[in-house]
Amino acid sequence: MNREAILHIPLSNYAYGLDETHVVFRLRTARNDIKSCILHYGDRSCRETPVIFTPLTMKIASSDDLFDYYEIELSSPYTRICYYFELSDGKTTCLYYSDEFHSETTGERSEYYQFPFNRREDIAQVPKWVNDAVVYNIFPDSFATGRRYIAKEGMRRVYRGNSTSSKNGGTICGIIDNLDYLTTLGINCIYLNPIFVAGEYHKYDLLDYFHIDPCFGTDDDFRKLVTECHKNHIRVIIDGVFNHCGWNFFAFDDVAKNGEKSAYKDWFYDLTFPVIRPDNMDDYPNYSCFGYERTMPKLNTSNPEVIHYFMKVCRYWLENFDIDGWRLDAANEIDNGFWRMFRKTAKSVKSDCLLIGEIWESAYPWLRGDQFDSSMNYDMRKNCRDFFASGRIDAAGFEDRVTKMIMRYPQQMLYAQLNVLDTHDVSRFLTLCEGNWMKFRLAVVFQMTFVGMPSIFYGDEQGIQGSVEDEYRQPMIWGNKSFFEFYRALINLRRSNVALRQGSLHTVCAEKGKYLYIFERQCETQSILVALNAGDRKEVISVLGGDEYNKCLFQEGVSGKEIGPWGFGVFENSNVKS
């Protein structure tokens, strides 16, 4: 038994409350090392001594290159639980508790692993609607000026003495004019990059957090957009930029003019007086910024006045415009106390408001139920790039990556992940595939059948490419019917099959040196098999041909049990009755 590989962390993603009566426990072991893993649990407050334990057999939920992850969802009458694990490799058996190996139990109940109390306040509550969400991410300047039309030229406006600009002419009314396009596509949630008053076309250099940028339209235009979206059963998420502002934001402008006498000098990080706004973009400013962007000074989000100001912003858009969520920019650079207050504020106004943090790495510290509901899953993009686009990893390597995504978070947050292939910050995925449609569509099939919320960046469904900013944020194109219909069919597939939205995920086939990856999505009423061949040769889907998975829902390149190069198939087990 490889004891060095065994890991359990209490009160973490290895032990968490799913709801008030269900608790999930996980244990990591070396891959293919353990023959059996049994959870023994008992009431840590029971009157009997010793504690009476109940055994439950755990199963492998997922595996990566090095480890197996055992898991069990416990339905317990106890709110206070003590527990230990019994492990056997077929030769030796040991007990594991208090991060130590033992040959026998102890009479000291406090020495076992503890789940002190399954407090409802500590259970991560994620809006239920995320399970059914398919998101369409719109970069407002680049989407539409009118119906199936984008001006492809910018404009300039003056807002309270400051210049604002756009590049491609997209407007909020343009989005309204194309809601029929979005409903036909089948999405049911839009996420808008920044729309508040700001200097540059991207709108991440904020001037006013309480109004729509005049290049995009008016506050009433946005109110109409939300109303029309809700009529069409589309939710609306907007971008919140609270890590930094624009250098003409009223508070920073006051600091630049009044120096140390400014009432807002504590609103910003690491100011050196006098504050100088450098004219040359290559010069380093004497204040902290977002990166080294001199026009985006960093806000001090631990300052009580700053917190109070942005809680007003949070409430304003929820109360007055009925938005459905916030995507939170540069979230990992902001004070955690700020986010805890932001969550309380948002949820007090709209309990099913969705909070998505922009965090490119593991977001677990922010996804424990007290800050965000979700994060942007850039690992989805990276892993799909390395398997489908470049072939850097084989199917076994892809399984390793998939497992890491699945086991990283509690279940509630896993199913709320915003799964991206493209965003406004990265090269288009079709470009990573060197324009190869067959590779690209495999990644899209995976995105639409994986756990979490798929997010389509505007124009993905039209075949937009680009590797630099002007290209991947280029004006929307219209008329690529084949791409559009492919996306439409996949979205319909996802929305029509509950297992693809709410089911667990298990890898079925992922061999070293091969590029056929097969996985199952299963729930109580449905079981679906997804086969993806990311290689240039035929493979055999060995699990086909029997009574199981005898109903094909969607495929390209599948004939009998064979799957051609870059082919895919989605199959339902018709023996599972709803």
> For 403-423, how does the pLDDT look when each residue is reduced to its tens digit (9 = 90+)?
999 999 999 999 999 999 999
Residue 308 has pLDDT above 80, yes or no: yes
Judgement on whether residues 461 and 527 belong to the same structural domain of the protein: no
Judgement on whether residues 506 and 396 belong to the same structural domain of the protein: no
Judgement on whether residues 229 and 366 belong to the same structural domain of the protein: yes
CA 377, CA 397: separation in Å to the nearest integer?
A: 18
| Angstrom distances, CA of residue 166 to CA of 13, 281, 472, 479 | 43, 20, 16, 24
Report the pLDDT value the prediction gives residue 283, as an integer from 0 to 100: 87
Judgement on whether residues 203 and 351 belong to the same structural domain of the protein: yes
CATH number, position 248: 3.90.400.10
The C-alpha angle with vertex 482 and arms to 479 and 483, in degrees rounded to 5, equals 85
Would residue 549 count as lying in a domain? yes
For tokens 């008329």, the residue is 479
Would residue 3 count as lying in a domain? no
Judgement on whether residues 272 and 420 belong to the same structural domain of the protein: no
The C-alpha angle with vertex 223 and arms to 126 and 371, in degrees rounded to 5, equals 25
CA 278, CA 272: separation in Å to the nearest integer?
A: 13
Residue 451 has pLDDT above 90, yes or no: yes
Judgement on whether residues 390 and 480 belong to the same structural domain of the protein: yes
Judgement on whether residues 83 and 201 belong to the same structural domain of the protein: no
pLDDT category of residue 281 using cuts at 50, 70 and 90:
confident
Judgement on whether residues 365 and 476 belong to the same structural domain of the protein: yes
Classify residue 577 as exposed, middle or buried by CB count within 10 Å of its CB (0-12, 13-18, 19+): exposed
For the stretch 525-576, pLDDT in tens is: 999 999 999 999 999 999 987 778 989 999 999 999 999 999 999 999 988 8
Residue 396 has pLDDT above 70, yes or no: yes
Q: Of 358, 394, 422, 460, which is the active-site residue?
A: 358
Judgement on whether residues 227 and 171 belong to the same structural domain of the protein: yes
Q: Which residues pair with 28 in a beta bridge?
A: 7, 69
Judgement on whether residues 57 and 153 belong to the same structural domain of the protein: no
For the stretch 19-47, pLDDT in tens is: 999 999 999 999 999 999 999 999 999 98
Q: Point out the domain boundary residue: 454, 473, 497.
A: 497
Would residue 312 count as lying in a domain? no
Sign for the CA dihedral angle at 544, 548, 551, 555 comes to: negative
Would residue 402 count as lying in a domain? yes
How many residues does the structure list for the chain? 578
Would residue 563 count as lying in a domain? yes
Would residue 371 count as lying in a domain? yes
Asked whether the whole model's pTM tops 0.95, one would answer: yes
- Per-residue pLDDT averaged across 196-223, rounded? 98
Residue 76 has pLDDT above 90, yes or no: no
Q: Point out the domain boundary residue: 477, 497, 517.
A: 497
Report the pLDDT value the prediction gives residue 571, as an integer from 0 to 100: 97
CA 137, CA 127: separation in Å to the nearest integer?
A: 19
| Angstrom distances, CA of residue 341 to CA of 73, 337, 426 | 31, 6, 31
Per the structure, the count of domains in the chain is: 4
Structure tokens at 347: 């949820």
For the stretch 314-328, pLDDT in tens is: 999 999 999 999 999
For the stretch 126-158, pLDDT in tens is: 999 999 999 999 999 999 999 999 999 999 999
Would residue 120 count as lying in a domain? no
DSSP symbols for 320-357 = HH---EEEETTGGGS-HHHHHHHHHHHHHH-TT-EEEE
Report the pLDDT value the prediction gives residue 503, as an integer from 0 to 100: 97
Q: Is 71 a catalytic residue?
A: no
For the stretch 228-260, pLDDT in tens is: 999 999 999 999 999 999 999 999 999 999 999
For the stretch 157-186, pLDDT in tens is: 999 999 999 999 999 999 999 999 999 999
Judgement on whether residues 193 and 257 belong to the same structural domain of the protein: no
| Angstrom distances, CA of residue 189 to CA of 137, 178, 179, 323, 552 | 9, 14, 11, 11, 28
The fraction of the chain above a pLDDT of 70, given in percent, is: 100
Report the pLDDT value the prediction gives residue 149, as an integer from 0 to 100: 98
Would residue 124 count as lying in a domain? no
Report the pLDDT value the prediction gives residue 382, as an integer from 0 to 100: 98
Report the pLDDT value the prediction gives residue 547, as an integer from 0 to 100: 79
Q: Judging by DSSP bridges, how do beta strands 526-533 and 562-572 pair with one another?
A: antiparallel
DSSP at 146: B
Q: Which domain holds residue 251?
A: 243-299
Q: Is 562 a catalytic residue?
A: no
Judgement on whether residues 198 and 271 belong to the same structural domain of the protein: no
Q: Point out the domain boundary residue: 497, 516, 532.
A: 497
pLDDT category of residue 578 using cuts at 50, 70 and 90:
low
Q: Cβ(222)–Cβ(194) under 8 Å?
A: no
pLDDT category of residue 275 using cuts at 50, 70 and 90:
very high
Q: Of 208, 239, 329, 373, which is the active-site residue?
A: 329
Average pLDDT, the chain: 97
CATH number, position 555: 2.60.40.1180
